[in-house]
């Protein structure tokens, strides 16, 4: 235990020396640490600078490269926001705009946004499409709307205006759905508009029935009654059937009533009446003479039957052009028709001289006498008394023939109503029209019984005449004779 103190001092000294060394070492560690930190920071900064340099570029968000603009709208171009730099630091770059937009011009235009940073350039393109995106506007001008139960619009006062097309009221379509009238319209660019109006569909208007032909008419007993019917018009319904009530007994004299009635789909109905008087035939003042030239021929028999059907008497100016039908001359006379000479040959050389004409006339009259038992004093010139052909044969022929014929008591007939069946009229309907539209008292009608289509017109002509108070008679020597006047040859 003696060495205890000494040994304690020695330990103390050693301890102090030890502490000094430790402190010095601690300081140098701190400095070294700081160097490290600075170094790292410097490296990081350097890395940043290098990184920034390496990744610098124009940067921008996604933008619409196609923009649609409504026609006429105000629009100013907006350049996409662009910066130049890295993710960390990026400076905004202003754009210069190349191109212009006029929203009053429909179509496409490409705008360029040009960005410059130092020597770097960026061009962004945007397609601007100006089109009509605006729907037309429907305006109701009058609150009163009238609609039929079937949807037909009777009154709808609207205006439809479109930014581009203007007034397109006429393009609107209305349809009824229950108690709503839906008006739809589409402009030329395909923009649609619709409007709904609450309506009360109804129809209290009667259909209008109008009679075809006369409201009161007369027909001769025994003739056919041809009903001309009636027409109907309705405010709502396009198709309405007419019911015809009443019959006409054409074989019994009397007044008959025919009623035409029509009812629309809402039950409104109306009717009109026609009175048909079936009368006995009366011999009035109005007389028509049907005359037929150039036969008999293939159609003559049918003609005789039609004339018989209506008990009508006519006059035949006969020829011998078709000898096989010669016997029909006798038949014509037997049935009460008048027979007259037209010509044996119907050749123009009959106008060579009075003798030539007389010889032809007499030869024909011989045949007539054979067929009927008597000669005739009635005749008609081939071509009519006003023909010009005779001038090429004998310049005074017609005048001379008339003088000679007058002396022997023969009478000639021209005509004052040409059916035009020898030229002009090409079918039955035209013959009917030509004759019926010109029928007057004392009409002497010219037809040819060798023309089938003309013969087929006779029944209608007779019906018309009988229903309009005419009586058909055959010509005789005292009948009024139309004369055309003689053509004077040069
Ligand atoms: Zn003739």
Tell me the CA–centroid distance for residue 294 and ligand 1, in Å: 5
Tell me the CA–centroid distance for residue 415 and ligand 1, in Å: 12
Mean pLDDT of 465-473: 90
Determine the Cα–Cα distance for residues 268 and 37; give it in Å rounded to an integer.
107
Q: Which CATH class is domain 137-198?
A: mainly beta
Tell me the CA–centroid distance for residue 301 and ligand 1, in Å: 19
Burial track 308-328 (b if 16+ CB lie within 10 A, e otherwise): eebebbbbbbbbbbeeebeeb
Identical fold for domains 59-131 and 137-198, yes or no, is yes
Q: Per-residue confidence at 191, pLDDT binned at 50, 70, 90?
A: very high
Tell me the CA–centroid distance for residue 293 and ligand 1, in Å: 5
Q: What is the mean pLDDT of the chain?
A: 92
Q: Is the pLDDT of residue 6 over 70?
A: no
Give me the percent of the chain exceeding a pLDDT of 70: 95
Complete edge-to-edge strand list for the sheet that includes strand 57-60: 57-60, 82-85, 90-93
What's the number of CA atoms in the CB half-sphere (13 Å) around residue 266?
A: 19
Q: Per-residue confidence at 256, pLDDT binned at 50, 70, 90?
A: very high
Mean pLDDT of 91-119: 94
Determine the Cα–Cα distance for residues 365 and 344; give it in Å rounded to an integer.
8
CATH topology (fold) of 208-279: Immunoglobulin-like (2.60.40)
Determine the Cα–Cα distance for residues 168 and 187; give it in Å rounded to an integer.
7
Q: Is the pLDDT of residue 79 over 80?
A: yes
Lowest mean pLDDT among 12-21, 244-253, 404-413: 12-21
**For the domain 287-472, what is the CATH superfamily, name and number?**
Glycoside hydrolase/deacetylase (3.20.20.370)
Tell me the CA–centroid distance for residue 342 and ligand 1, in Å: 7
Tell me the CA–centroid distance for residue 364 and ligand 1, in Å: 14
Q: What pLDDT is attached to residue 423?
A: 92
Q: Which CATH class is domain 59-131?
A: mainly beta
Q: Is the pLDDT of residue 8 over 60?
A: no
Tell me the CA–centroid distance for residue 341 and ligand 1, in Å: 10
- What residues form DSSP beta bridges with 140? 158
For the chain, the structural domain boundaries read 59-131, 137-198, 208-279, 287-472
């Amino acid at each position: 235990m003696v060495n205890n103190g000494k040994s304690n001092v020695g330990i103390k000294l050693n301890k102090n020396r030890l502490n000094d060394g430790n402190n010095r070492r601690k300081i140098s560690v701190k400095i070294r640490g700081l160097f490290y930190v600075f170094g790292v920071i410097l490296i990081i900064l350097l890395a940043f600078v290098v990184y920034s340099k390496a990744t610098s570029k124009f940067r921008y968000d996604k933008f619409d490269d196609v923009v649609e603009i409504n026609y006429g709208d105000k629009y100013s171009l907006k350049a996409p926001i662009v910066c130049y730099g890295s993710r960390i630091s990026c400076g905004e770059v202003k754009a210069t705009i190349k191109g212009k937009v006029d929203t009053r011009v429909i179509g496409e235009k490409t705008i360029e946004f040009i960005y410059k940073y130092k020597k770097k350039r960026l061009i962004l393109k945007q397609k601007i499409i100006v089109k009509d995106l605006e729907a037309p506007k429907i305006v109701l001008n009058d609150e009163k709307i009238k609609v039929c139960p079937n949807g037909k619009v009777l009154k709808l006062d609207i205006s439809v205006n479109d930014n581009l097309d203007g007034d397109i009221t006429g393009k609107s379509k209305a349809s009824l759905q229950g108690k709503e009238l839906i008006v739809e319209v589409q402009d030329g660019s395909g923009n649609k508009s619709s409007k709904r109006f609450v309506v009360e569909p109804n129809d209290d208007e009667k259909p209008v029935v109008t009679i075809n032909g006369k409201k009161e008419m007369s027909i001769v007993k025994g003739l056919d009654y041809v009903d001309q019917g009636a027409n109907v018009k309705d405010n709502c319904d396009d198709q309405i059937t007419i019911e015809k009530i009443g019959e006409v007994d054409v074989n019994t004299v009397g007044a008959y009533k025919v009623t035409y009635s029509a009812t629309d789909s809402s039950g409104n109905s109306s009717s009109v009446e026609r009175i048909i008087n079936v009368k006995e035939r009366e011999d009035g003042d109005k007389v028509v003479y049907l005359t037929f030239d150039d036969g008999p021929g293939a159609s003559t028999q049918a003609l005789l039957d039609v004339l018989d059907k209506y008990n009508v008497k006519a006059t035949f100016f006969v020829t011998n052009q078709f000898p096989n039908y010669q016997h029909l001359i006798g038949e014509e006379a037997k049935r009460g028709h008048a027979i007259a000479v037209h010509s044996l040959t119907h050749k123009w050389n009959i106008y060579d001289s009075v003798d030539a004409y007389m010889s032809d006339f007499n030869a024909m009259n011989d045949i007539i006498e054979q067929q009927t038992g008597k000669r005739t004093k009635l005749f008609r010139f081939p071509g009519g008394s006003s023909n010009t052909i005779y001038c090429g044969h004998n310049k005074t022929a017609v005048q001379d023939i008339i003088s000679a014929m007058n002396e022997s008591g023969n009478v000639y007939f021209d005509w004052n109503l040409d059916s035009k069946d020898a030229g002009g009229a090409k079918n039955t309907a035209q013959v009917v029209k030509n004759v019926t539209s010109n029928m007057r008292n004392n009409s002497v009608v010219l037809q040819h019984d060798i023309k089938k289509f003309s013969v087929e017109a006779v029944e209608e002509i007779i019906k018309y005449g009988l229903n309009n108070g005419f009586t058909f008679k055959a010509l005789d020597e005292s009948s009024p004779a139309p004369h055309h006047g003689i053509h004077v040859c040069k």
